[in-house]
Amino acid sequence: MQGYVIVMILLVIGGTIIDMIHKKSAQYFFENSQKQQANAKRTVGGGQKIAALIGVVLKEVMTSGEFENPMRRISHLFTMYGFILFVASTAVLIFGYPTSAEAGVWPMLWHLGAASLALGGYWFWFAIRVDVSSEGHKWYQLAKADLFIVSALMTVTWALVWSLSGAGKEGLNALFLALFILSATTLFSTVMWSKFAHMFFKPAAAFQKRMTKLDGSQENLPDLGDLTDPELQAKFPDIPEYMGTNPPNMGPGIKSEAPQHY
């Protein structure tokens, strides 16, 4: 099992690198960063950069604050932290307690991680998956983009079934273990075709976006500054007229209908 985990880690690293080469993600970030520096109107100090980095960690990484739909956000947090806890506890159990039945709190954390991932993942799949209700897609209609969530759900589902059935290696337990390993192998070996790799790019993209606002490059958009500034609103009176007194919220009209999907 230790050898298997090492192979899975190598598959994730290799798949991410291939994904970066295929989609040219690193090249995009590099070229976009150069364009941003060329269009910068202000110098951003070290303190501002650290504050922006902390903001990304607290909002986009730790609390998934970019999700405006609160149900989607909660589902994502259950899925994300469940996945982290499940993978981390699996590694600790396999490398830290390979032959010992006394593993302290780690078996409980393993089950909690699997249950959290299952809760968030199945909630997302059956209730709030993108465009399911609005476009009439059935829950069983699969696309390549579903590869990550489906393989992750199958991994923790068969992991829990195998564990609750006795965690043995004979009879039905052997079948459950085989399905568990097959699902996990699918999850970690298909990084290039799933959304797995995007979790590595998401913080970088969020940080770069914050920097464009700080240095005034604004991704080639007009650098108007703070839209709530009275002086700016006096110069452009259509801002409060069409966007409300608190422009970032786009006025009350945007909340006239609750979102059915994201």
pLDDT 10s digits, 120-148: 999 988 887 755 555 666 767 777 778 88
Q: Do both 83 and 179 map to the same domain?
A: yes
Per cent of the chain over pLDDT 70 is: 86
Q: Do both 11 and 133 map to the same domain?
A: yes
Domain assignment of residue 150, yes or no: yes
pTM: 0.79
Range of the domain at 245: 227-255
Q: Do both 89 and 53 map to the same domain?
A: yes
Total count of domains within the chain: 2
Q: Do both 242 and 154 map to the same domain?
A: no
d(CA 175, CA 168) in angstroms, rounded, equals: 10
Long-range contacts (CB closer than 8 Å, 24 or more residues apart) made by 213-219: 214/42, 214/44, 214/48, 214/52, 215/36, 215/37, 215/40, 215/41, 215/42, 215/43, 215/44, 216/39, 216/40, 216/41, 216/42, 217/35, 217/36, 217/37, 217/39, 217/40, 217/41, 218/39, 219/36
pLDDT number for residue 44: 86
Indicate the average pLDDT of the chain: 84
Domain assignment of residue 262, yes or no: no
Q: State both tokens at 117.
A: 């991932």
Domain assignment of residue 126, yes or no: yes
Single-letter amino acid, residue 15: G
Average pLDDT of the residues in 223-245:
73
Average pLDDT of the residues in 26-37:
82
pLDDT number for residue 262: 46
Average pLDDT of the residues in 69-79:
90
Which CATH number goes with the domain that contains 154? 1.20.950
Single-letter amino acid, residue 107: P
pLDDT number for residue 22: 83
Q: Do both 205 and 179 map to the same domain?
A: yes
